[in-house]
Each structure stands twice: as structure tokens, then as C-alpha cells.
């Protein structure tokens, strides 16, 4: 696929994947009935299945993947490392920690919004901390180390909460959240997360030119007028908001933010700025296809989307790391 056809091709494939997701489920729905349900001509049962169950779930998977894909592409451009992704700065882990905290203390019983609100607050807290670090340090390595430390601390705290879970039901809810899923998502869930996804993606797109300048190196980029501190703050803030929205919508899902930008990069001549939109589209497409697999696999219990994404993403991550080492000699 040429660079000119890349984005239109990914948009067309994404639309086909979302439509296919509406066809498939516990029972196969013919295409004519799905189209009729889209335009209000089907019976009430078909409209309920499409508009309340299948379409919101497909859109949730797509938006989650898009947020992780664009965040991963931006962070890889900022850190100049193809192994960077939203989890590298601790934003995903912090969002998951706050969500787990709300489950541990039973806050979800008070309001159905407690879980996504907690995830957003966790992402914003981590983003604020990393943004503050970006202001105070000039070293990208230091920024990565702070993110790794934050992620490790959040992971340890989540393990502690699970170890101290008051009952098996709370423990099960925590584990389910950490495994990632878009099952039973509604348009209300999408409406809550969408402003954060939109704000994060908008910030990353608005600051994308600086990512291209960084391919020359920090000193050269600074020499041609790039404000490195502002670029770090905007990239971290945008990635934090987008990742927080994705965690609020689907829980913890990894590796998508690494793999999608890596696949896209050769088609855009390794330009980080040009990789943002295609990476978002490809990552969204990947998660929709993965969720279709989750729904149709003949397993006694439905697999979690984060598990399926990791089964494909983890080997790809290892391959990328080994290939990078080989290229570097």
C-alpha cells in the first residue's frame, strides 16, 4: 500500500471491521438486517442488538485502539525509541491503579461512573507528575526512568490491593479490569471517555511537527527553533489524556501502542508526525478484529480483549526488540 492510499485504505478497512463486528455475536445477523437496523427499518429486537450491544462495543474497541496507537506513535517520536508506548511513562498503570482502588473500596456500588472517573483521575495524576518532570529535566532518559518507576510502583500497589481484597468478588472485579475488555459498553461510556480521547488526540496532532524535528536530534531540533520543553509537555499531556480515556473505556490493554506505529513507520518514510493518524487507524482496526475473535472463539468463557491483544502483541514486541538490536549491531 502506497503512502497516498494508506489512510483511505485504513479508513475503509476500519469501516468494514466495525460493520463485521455488528454482524457477528452469539448469533449471526444477516447484512440486510444490520443495515435495516442502522437506518431504523428493522424490528425493535434488531435495533436493540445493534445500537445497544454490538455497535457500542465495536466503537469502544476502535476508540481504545486509536488512542493507544496515536499515543504510542507520539511517544516513540518524542523518545526516539520504537519500543516506547503509553505504559512506558506509567500513565496506563496509574489509571489502572486508581480504577482498582475504586473497586477495592466498593465505590462502584455508589455510582456506575466511579470506575471510569477513577481511571481518568489516575491518568491525570500520572500525566501531571510526568509533565512536571519534563519541565525540570532535559534528559529523555531521566523521563523514561521516572515513568518506569511510576509504573512499577503502581503495579506493586495493585498487587497489594489484590492481595488484601476483602472477598473473592472484589478480587474477580479487579482482575477482570486489569485484563481489559469492551464487553457491555454503552454509548454513555463512550460519551464519558470521548472528550478525553479527543483532547489528547488533538494535542498530539497539534504538536506533531515538533516530532519530525526531533528526528534530527535534540540539539539540531533546538537549533531550528523547537522548544524542547514545550514539546515534551504537550506530547506527555496528550498521550496521558488519550491513554486515560482508553483505560476508562476498556481497562488495561498493552502492546497495541508499540506494534501499530512500527508497522506504519515504513509507509510514512519513518516520519513520526505522519505516523500519528495511520497508527491510530491501524491500532483501532487491530482491536476491533481482536474483539471479533474474542466473541466468536468457541471457549467456555469469553476471553478478555487485553489477553488476546497481548498474545499477538507480545511476540511482535520481542521481534521488534530483536530486530532493533540486530540493526544496531
pLDDT for the residue 283:
96
pTM: 0.90
Q: Residues 158, 171: contact at Cβ < 8 Å?
A: no
pLDDT digits (tens, 9 = 90+) for 22-47: 998 778 889 999 999 888 776 888 88
Q: Residues 285, 63: contact at Cβ < 8 Å?
A: no
pLDDT digits (tens, 9 = 90+) for 243-282: 889 988 998 898 899 889 999 999 999 999 999 999 999 9
Here the CATH number for the domain that contains residue 270 is: 1.10.3470.10
Overall number of domains in the chain: 1
pLDDT digits (tens, 9 = 90+) for 86-145: 877 788 889 889 988 888 888 877 887 888 888 888 888 888 888 788 777 767 778 778
Q: Alpha-carbon dihedral of residues 34, 37, 41, 45, nearest 10 degrees?
A: 110
> SS in 3 state form for 35-86?
HHHHCCCCCHHHHHHHHHHHHHHHHHHHHHHHHHHHHHHHHHHHHCCCCCCH
* Alpha-carbon span 272 to 213, nearest angstrom: 9
Q: Residues 122, 252: contact at Cβ < 8 Å?
A: no
Task: Say yes or no to pLDDT of 1 above 80.
Answer: no
In this prediction, residues 71-92 reach a mean pLDDT of 84
- Domain span including residue 139: 3-327
Distance of CA 273 to CAs 151, 200, 235, 286, 310, Å?
Answer: 26, 15, 12, 21, 26
| 3 band by pLDDT with thresholds 50, 70 and 90 | low
- Torsion sign over Cα 145, 120, 279, 198: negative
Amino acid at each position: 500500500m502506497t503512502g497516498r492510499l494508506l489512510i483511505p485504505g485504513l479508513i475503509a478497512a476500519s469501516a468494514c471491521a466495525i460493520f463485521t463486528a455488528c454482524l457477528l455475536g452469539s448469533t449471526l445477523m444477516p447484512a440486510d438486517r444490520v443495515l435495516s437496523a442502522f437506518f431504523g427499518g428493522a424490528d425493535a429486537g434488531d435495533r436493540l442488538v445493534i445500537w445497544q450491544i454490538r455497535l457500542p462495543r465495536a466503537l469502544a474497541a476502535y476508540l481504545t485502539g486509536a488512542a493507544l496507537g496515536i499515543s504510542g506513535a507520539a511517544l516513540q517520536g518524542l523518545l526516539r525509541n520504537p519500543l516506547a508506548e503509553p505504559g512506558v511513562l506509567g500513565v496506563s498503570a496509574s489509571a489502572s491503579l486508581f480504577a482498582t482502588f475504586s473497586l477495592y473500596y466498593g465505590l462502584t456500588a455508589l455510582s456506575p461512573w466511579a470506575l471510569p472517573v477513577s481511571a481518568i483521575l489516575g491518568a491525570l495524576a500520572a500525566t501531571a507528575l510526568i509533565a512536571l518532570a519534563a519541565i525540570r529535566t532535559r534528559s529523555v532518559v531521566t523521563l523514561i526512568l521516572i515513568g518506569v518507576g511510576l509504573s512499577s510502583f503502581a503495579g506493586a500497589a495493585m498487587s497489594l490491593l489484590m492481595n488484601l481484597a476483602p472477598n473473592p468478588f472484589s478480587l474477580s472485579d479487579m482482575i477482570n479490569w486489569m485484563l481489559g475488555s469492551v464487553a457491555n459498553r454503552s454509548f454513555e461510556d463512550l460519551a464519558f471517555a470521548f472528550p478525553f480521547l479527543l483532547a489528547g488526540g488533538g494535542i498530539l496532532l497539534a504538536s506533531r511537527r515538533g516530532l519530525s524535528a526531533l528526528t534530527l536530534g535534540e540539539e539540531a531540533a533546538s537549533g531550528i527553533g523547537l522548544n524542547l520543553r514545550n514539546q515534551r509537555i504537550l506530547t506527555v499531556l496528550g498521550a496521558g489524556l488519550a491513554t486515560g480515556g482508553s483505560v476508562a473505556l476498556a481497562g488495561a490493554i498493552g502492546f497495541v501502542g508499540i506494534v501499530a506505529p512500527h508497522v506504519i513507520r515504513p509507509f510514512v518514510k519513518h516520519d513520526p508526525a505522519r505516523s500519528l493518524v495511520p497508527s491510530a487507524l491501524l491500532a483501532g482496526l487491530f482491536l476491533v478484529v481482536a474483539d471479533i475473535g474474542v466473541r466468536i472463539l468457541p471457549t467456555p468463557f469469553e476471553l478478555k480483549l487485553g489477553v488476546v491483544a497481548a498474545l499477538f502483541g507480545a511476540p511482535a514486541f520481542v521481534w521488534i526488540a530483536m530486530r532493533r538490536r540486530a540493526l544496531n549491531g
